[in-house]
Each structure stands twice: as structure tokens, then as C-alpha cells.
Amino acid sequence: MLAIYWREIRELSRSLRFLIALCLFLSGMAINGFVMGVAYQGLSQMHRQIEAQGEERVRQAAASLEQLAINFNEVFGASERGQALILSAPPPKTLPLVAGTEAGGLHGAEWNFPNVAQPADLGVWNPELPARPAPDWEFMVRILLSFIAIILSYDLVVGERERGTLALTLASPVPRRRVLCAKFLAVVTLLGCLLAAGAVLSTLIYLVRGGGPLVAVDYARMGLFVAGAILYSAVFVAASLLVSSRARSSVSSLTVLLILWLAATVVIPEGGTAAVQGSVRTVSDIQVEQRVINQLEGQVNEMIGEMDAFVRPDVAEARKDGFSSEQNYARRINQMIASIKTTLDEQRASHRRQAGVLQNVLRLTPSGLFQLGSERLAGVGEIREQRFLEAVDRWSDQYAGFIKEQDRLDPSSPHILYVQNFMSQRPVDQATVPRFRFEEFTLFESLKNAGLDWLLLMLELAVTLAFSFIAFERAPVSETV
């Protein structure tokens, strides 16, 4: 078996088709690393521009309030006793005494902004940037490597029969299943080496080109991706051995395999996607907007027209009837928000329903299984979007609860939410304000998410290999038989 294994590796590695495949795949992976590095540089530049714009906005706001303090000092400083003017703006500092201001005037202006103090605290910096993007090899493996697997193995059986060497190979005291296993492992080994070389080349170019830094978890994901890619390409090798064992010529074997490859990688995934999108309807943004407008247009116009009657500026007057009109206003605002949320939830549910059907269609092919498994392993795609939306919902609920709790803790507040003048005005400790947090998938979570697709891919490989063994056992050893 080992002799056949090494013979196949020698013959394939010296063949012209393998050399062409090597150059083609390595070139594609090199381009991939370069493109992903350029993409990261573009995101980094955009990120720096956003940082600069955010800092400039903070500086402009600070300069405006500083000028306000100076103007206040110039106008009222001479007539006021020495004291500090309290302004609500970042960052905390004490302004120097304005030149020409009389002694005994305003000594300074203390900035006391309750939420954030420095540009870095404003959330201008994007903590997710270092993790996105990273080298993405899914397309290269799903399309190109699967094609190379077919090109290297389409004539492993029928080609030997045409050359008259299959009978000599089977004349040795080695069971047929071991002969086929040696051929299978030889091709998979070459594909694994090809993929490993391409992965190293792509990663090096990505890093040299200025891509984002990679940590141990990233390299672990890459290693697991390579293992999954070998499993995926092995399915096509097994299918090639099956067809090659049953085909009458190398040309017919290659023709059938190319048709299968096109169906598995292009026709079914793309056609299935189009069919699902056409048959499983979703609620579009335009439909959401129209529904919201139809539901709320009359209410909004009515509330705007009666705003003065709803919200009274005099708290003492409003307290006489228990803030009845303000309470009514808040209830109507809550109803409007609930109506909008219901429409948005319907839209999200329709997208989830469509995504679920599409995933089931993609799982009909090894290409779709590999695509879904790779996305889940990398923690991207639909599953990441869903996790992000769940984090947004949690933060939204926490923030709303925080506002209500802060208002409840103020005895002087009538607790009328959505009416600014009737809510608590007391200062809030910035450290207690809920911040949005988004946690990436851990490696264990990624493996768990990808587990079903990888298991189904293993099952496809096992079934295809079993049929290829059966076909090879029954294959003729020469064209005359």
C-alpha cells in the first residue's frame, strides 16, 4: 500500500497539471493576502479619519464652551463675587483668568460633563477594527481547490486501465480497497500540502502588506479551517474515484465530474439562493417605513398639534391633576414605540426565516456545507449578525432600565418618561451608564456552531468513499474485459 501511495505522489507531483494547479492556487492565495491587506489598510485609514473627526468635534465643542465662559466672565465678572462658573461640557479643566478681567471677578469655569470626559471615552475608537478583516480563503478553497481535486484524480482508475497498468497494479497481493485507499490518500496529501503552502504565503503577504495583527486564536482558526478544507476537498477526490471506477474513458470521467462540480459549487448554491429569495419573502426596509408611516402618521400629527395641551411647562399646575395629560402623552409615545418595535421584529423574523430555508438548501451540497461551516468557524456571516443584534437588544433594554431606575431614585421627579421636563434632572455618575458590549465568538463556540456542518460533510465523505470502494471492487482491470 505504501509503495502505491508514494508512486502516486511521485507521478502526480511531477505531472504538468499539478504544476499548473500549484502556480494557479499559489497565485490566487497571494492575491488574496494582498487584497485583504489592502482592505485592512483602507479600514484603518477610514478609522483614523473618524477618530480625527470625533476629536475635532470635541475640540470645537470645548472651544465654544470655553468662549462662552470667557464671554460670561467679561460681562458678569466685575459684578460677581469670586466664584467658579459650572458648565456641563468635556473635558474637566479650569479655565485661566481672562486677561483684563478685574480682580474679584470670576476666577474660572469648571467643566463638569456627567457622561464622558475625553475623546477616547466617547467611543470614537472602534475596538472591533483589529479583528476585521483577516485572510479569507473560503472562496479559494470552495471553488478553486475543489476543481484542482477533480483535475488531479479524475483518471486515477480509468487512466490506468487505458494505459494497461491497472492489471499490473492489482496483480500485487494487496486488496483492492487498500489500492484505492492509497490513491485517495496520495491526492489528499498533495492537496493538503498545496493548501498549507498557500495559507502560509497568503498570511505572510497579508502581514507584510500591513494587515491587522493576528493572535493565537486567529492561527488556531486558520488551522481548523485548513483541516475543514482538506475534508471538503477529500469529498471531491472520493467522488472522482467513484466516477473514474465506473467511467469507460478519461474524457467521460472528466466530463461527468465537471458537471457534478458545477452543480455542487455554482448551480445549486446560486440557483437555490435565487429560488429562496424569490419564494420566501421578507419585509423590506421600504415596507417597514410604509407600515410605520401608515400606523403613526395620524397619531403624530395629532400629538404635535396638541403638544401644548399634553405637556405643561408648569410642574406645579400639572401636579394638581396628577399629571394626567402628561401621563396620557407618555402612554401614547409608548404605544407608538411598541408598534414600531413590532414591525421591526416582524422584519427580523422574516429575514431569519429566509436565512433558515437558504441554509437548508445550501446543505444539500458539500460546497454549501463547507461555506456554512467556514462562516461559523470564523464567527462571521449571518450568525455574527444575529449575535450583534442580540447584543444591541440587551444593551437597549439595559439602558432603558437604567434611565427608569435613575428617574425612580429621584423623589422630586413625577416619573413621566418621554417628557424631558418631567424626568429627573439630577447628575448621573458616568461610570454607572450601561455601555454597549459585543463579544466575539470564542474558539469553542465557533467549533460548536460549525459542528453540524462539519459532521454532515464527514458523513458525505464516508458515504462517497463507501460507494467508491464498491465501484472499484467491481471495476474491470482492462478495456477488453
DSSP 195-225: HHHHHHHHHHHHHHTTPPP--HHHHHHHHHH
Is 10 domain-assigned? yes
Residues 45 and 91 in one domain: no
Taking a C-beta distance cutoff of 8 angstroms, is the pair 113, 91 a contact? yes
Which of 71, 95, 122 lies at the terminal end of a domain, its last residue? 122
Is 329 domain-assigned? yes
Q: Counting beta carbons within 10 angstroms of the beta carbon of residue 161, is it exposed (0 to 12), middle (13 to 18) or buried (19 or more)?
A: buried
Say which range, 129-133, 209-213, 255-259, 428-432, has the weakest mean pLDDT.
129-133
For the stretch 250-269, pLDDT in tens is: 999 999 999 999 999 999 99
Taking a C-beta distance cutoff of 8 angstroms, is the pair 340, 447 a contact? no
> Cβ–Cβ contacts within 10 Å for residue 285, how many?
8
Q: Which of 331, 378, 436, 363 is nearest to 136 (CA)?
A: 378
Residues 171 and 26 in one domain: yes
Residues 276 and 310 in one domain: no
Is 480 domain-assigned? no
Residues 15 and 158 in one domain: yes
Say which range, 98-102, 287-291, 302-306, has the weakest mean pLDDT.
98-102
For the stretch 80-129, pLDDT in tens is: 444 555 544 444 333 333 333 333 333 343 444 333 334 444 444 455 44
Residues 105 and 155 in one domain: no
For the stretch 445-467, pLDDT in tens is: 999 999 999 999 999 999 999 99
- Start-to-end CA distance of the chain, whole Å, equals 25
Residues 232 and 321 in one domain: no
Say which range, 36-45, 188-197, 297-306, has the weakest mean pLDDT.
297-306
Q: Among all chains, which residue has been given the C-alpha cell 470521467?
A: 253
Which of 101, 122, 143 lies at the terminal end of a domain, its last residue? 122
Residues 307 and 270 in one domain: no
Which of 94, 122, 150 lies at the terminal end of a domain, its last residue? 122
Is 98 domain-assigned? yes
Is 481 domain-assigned? no
Is 353 domain-assigned? yes
Domain membership of residue 338 as a residue range = 285-448
pLDDT recorded at residue 123? 46
Residues 113 and 206 in one domain: no
For the stretch 175-188, pLDDT in tens is: 888 889 999 999 99
- 216 versus 431: which is more confidently predicted? 216
Is 173 domain-assigned? yes
Amino acid (1-letter code) at residue 455: L
Taking a C-beta distance cutoff of 8 angstroms, is the pair 78, 97 a contact? no
The answer on pLDDT for 473 being more than 70 is yes
Is 478 domain-assigned? no
Cell (9 digits) for 6: 508514494
Rounded mean pLDDT, 211-223: 87
Residues 169 and 93 in one domain: no
Q: What is the number of domains present in the chain?
A: 3
Amino acid (1-letter code) at residue 454: W
Q: What percent of the chain has pLDDT over 90?
A: 39
Residues 326 and 289 in one domain: yes
Considering the entire predicted model, what is its pTM?
A: 0.79
Residues 254 and 357 in one domain: no
Residues 89 and 215 in one domain: no
pLDDT-derived band at 477 (thresholds 50, 70, 90) equals confident
